[in-house]
């Protein structure tokens, strides 16, 4: 009887292994997949005072794509989680609302930076870089970072001018982080607010609760 019970236990255990721990089912056909990023390298780079001395705005970019490791480091520097214990970020936000979303606009599509999982979540297919600014050079940067406020996290749903001002300030902190990272890595960057926001929001399929604040191109300096 004891041997029979033992054999049954082993069989059940084997069934759990075979049936319950197999690979996760693949994404549905045609459903865009998340893009994992390599772990950010959070040490190195130029000293702060040198980065400040080199900080500059550029409107001329080489077409070379940004490597995955550099992109991961850039996104972490801009708006990554630097205190995993409480989820706080590399840039401050008013009352820790963390209302800013960071979108990556590239030739292969537009993605949302998921800082907690260190990955890119698909937002829209296609190349929408030309819509990230009314200036002709907007399309030239290999990637543009789009700073978007989630109005559901802002008091008054983004309709309170004073509360919305704080979202603009939070976007400014992130933009400066981008500038300093680019100065440290000898990348070109430039922030802009001249954007056809309704057209860009439509193209990306953004919810009405999303408020486009700033766009910032990033790339190698034009040769």
Nearest residue to 86 (alpha-carbon basis) of 116, 127, 55:
116
Q: What is the DSSP letter of 99?
A: -
Residue 31's pLDDT is what?
A: 62
Nearest residue to 102 (alpha-carbon basis) of 223, 9, 213:
213
Higher pLDDT, 5 or 221: 221
Residue 211: pLDDT band with limits 50, 70, 90: very high
Higher pLDDT, 1 or 204: 204
What average pLDDT score do residues 171-179 get? Answer: 98
CB 208 within 8 A of CB 158: no
Rounded to the nearest angstrom, the gap between the alpha carbon of residue 47 and the centroid of all alpha carbons in its chain is 24
Higher pLDDT, 172 or 18: 172
Report the alpha-carbon distance of residue 140 to residue 14 in Å, rounded.
56
Res 5 pLDDT > 70 = no
Q: pLDDT for 132-173, tens place per residue? A: 999 999 999 999 999 999 999 999 999 999 999 999 999 999
Who contacts 158 (Cβ-Cβ below 8 Å, separation ≥6)? 149, 151, 164, 167, 209, 211
Residue 223's pLDDT is what?
A: 87
How distant, in Å, are the alpha carbons of 62, 201, 218 from that of 103? 21, 12, 13
What average pLDDT score do residues 121-128 get? Answer: 98
Residue 159's pLDDT is what?
A: 92
**What dihedral do alpha carbons 135, 136, 139, 145 form, nearest 10°?**
-20
Residue 30: pLDDT band with limits 50, 70, 90: low
**Tokens describing residue 196:** 């056809």
Using the CB atoms, write b or e for 3-19: b if 16+ within 10 Å: eeeeeeeeeeeeeeeee
CATH of domain 34-219: 3.40.109.10
Who contacts 173 (Cβ-Cβ below 8 Å, separation ≥6)? 91, 92, 93
Res 25 pLDDT > 60 = no
Residue 88's pLDDT is what?
A: 97
Res 23 pLDDT > 60 = no
Local structure of 184: helix, strand or coil: helix
Residue 58's pLDDT is what?
A: 97
Residue 113's pLDDT is what?
A: 98
Q: Provide, rounded to the nearest whole percent, the portion of the chain with pLDDT above 70.
A: 86
CB 117 within 8 A of CB 33: no
How distant, in Å, are the alpha carbons of 9, 133, 137, 147 from that of 213? 60, 12, 19, 6
Res 53 pLDDT > 90 = yes
């Amino acid at each position: 009887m004891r041997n029979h019970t033992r054999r049954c236990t082993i069989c059940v255990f084997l069934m759990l292994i075979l049936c319950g721990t197999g690979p996760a089912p693949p994404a549905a056909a045609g459903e865009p997949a998340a893009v994992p990023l390599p772990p950010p390298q959070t040490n190195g780079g130029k000293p702060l005072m040198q980065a400040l001395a080199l900080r500059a705005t550029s409107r001329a970019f080489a077409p070379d794509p940004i490597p995955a490791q550099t992109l991961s480091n850039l996104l972490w520097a801009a708006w990554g989680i630097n205190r995993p214990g409480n989820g706080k970020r590399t840039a401050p936000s008013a009352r820790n609302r963390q209302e800013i979303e960071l979108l990556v606009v590239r030739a292969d599509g537009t993605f949302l930076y998921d800082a907690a999982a260190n990955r890119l979540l698909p937002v829209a297919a296609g190349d929408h870089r030309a819509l990230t600014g009314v200036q002709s050079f907007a399309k030239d940067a290999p990637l543009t970072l789009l700073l978007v406020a989630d109005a559901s996290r802002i008091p008054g749903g983004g309709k309170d001018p004073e509360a919305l001002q704080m979202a603009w300030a939070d976007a400014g902190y992130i933009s400066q982080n981008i500038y300093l990272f680019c100065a440290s890595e000898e990348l070109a960057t430039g922030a802009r607010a001249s954007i056809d926001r309704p057209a860009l929001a439509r193209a990306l399929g953004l919810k009405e609760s999303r408020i486009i604040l700033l766009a910032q191109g990033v790339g190698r300096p034009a040769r």
